[in-house]
């Protein structure tokens, strides 16, 4: 490793520590919003709430912080009716579609 690379990395330690502290503060805000939503809000809604509170932060940063701290929203799945096929009359294949 080049000596200049080491000293460049060493000089950036304060910036990394400041970013870690800012991420921890943001994680606290995200946790409060997540609990206030009864643990249902995911990244898009948390990001929208932060913007509504005049906290401008990148969506990808919110996503990373939530992923690192295992904060996840609830995914609502689309309901599928299993009975739909039971009440439809079954169509017989036409004679033109059958290969002889």
Which pLDDT score, from 0 to 100, does residue 77 have?
79
Is it the case that residue 94 has pLDDT exceeding 90? Answer: no
Which pLDDT score, from 0 to 100, does residue 98 have?
63
Q: Give 82's pLDDT tier (boundaries 50, 70, 90).
A: low
Three-state secondary structure string covering the chain: CCHHHHHHHHHCHHHHHHHHHHHHHHHHHHHHHHHHCCCCCCHHHHHHHHHHCCCCCCHHHHHHHHHHCCCCCCCCCCCCCCCCCCCCCCCCCCCCCCCC
Which pLDDT score, from 0 to 100, does residue 90 have?
65
Condensed to tens digits (0 to 9), the pLDDT of residues 14-58 reads: 999 999 999 999 999 999 999 999 999 999 999 999 999 999 999
CA distance 63 to 30: 10
The pLDDT mean for the chain works out to 87
Q: Give 76's pLDDT tier (boundaries 50, 70, 90).
A: confident
């Amino acid at each position: 490793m080049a000596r200049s690379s080491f000293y460049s990395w060493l000089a950036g330690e304060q910036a990394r520590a400041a970013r870690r502290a800012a991420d921890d503060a943001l994680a606290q805000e995200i946790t409060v919003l997540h609990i206030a939503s009864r643990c249902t809000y995911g990244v898009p809604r948390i990001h929208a709430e932060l913007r509504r509170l005049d906290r401008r932060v990148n969506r990808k940063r919110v996503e990373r912080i939530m992923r690192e701290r295992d904060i996840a929203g609830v995914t609502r799945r689309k309901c599928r009716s299993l009975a739909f096929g039971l009440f439809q009359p079954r169509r017989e294949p036409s004679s033109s579609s059958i290969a002889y």
